[in-house]
Amino acid sequence: MPVVGDQYTTCLMPQPLKGSTPINLSDRLNQVLQWALGSVEILLSRHCPIWYGYGGRLKWLERFAYINTTIYPITAIPLLAYCTLPAVCLLPRKFIIPQVMTIVLPYDV
């Protein structure tokens, strides 16, 4: 309980996560690129969790989580091929799915 003569101080806390989120798209893409490059650098360094954790330094689940994080940027390559292949196939006007030439007539049994 406050007593007469007590001095109060207010603690001005900064807003949480202020300035950590990019505002526009180009800043966001730059941030994601930096994260991906950092993950690839870790994957290619001697501290890669694939072989660094052996000898009791990393537990199995820790190693699995770090491997998942470092390999994540590599998954963009098949995803990019999956997204661009249909568009590339439409350039020479050849469709991926062939046209059906069979005519089916409905009838009652």
Confidence of residue 91 (pLDDT cuts 50, 70, 90): confident
pTM higher than the cut 0.75:
no
User: What are the residue boundaries of the structural domains of the chain, listed by start?
Assistant: 25-90
The per-residue pLDDT for 19 is: 56
Residue 70: is it exposed, middle or buried by C-beta count within 10 angstroms (0-12/13-18/19+)? buried
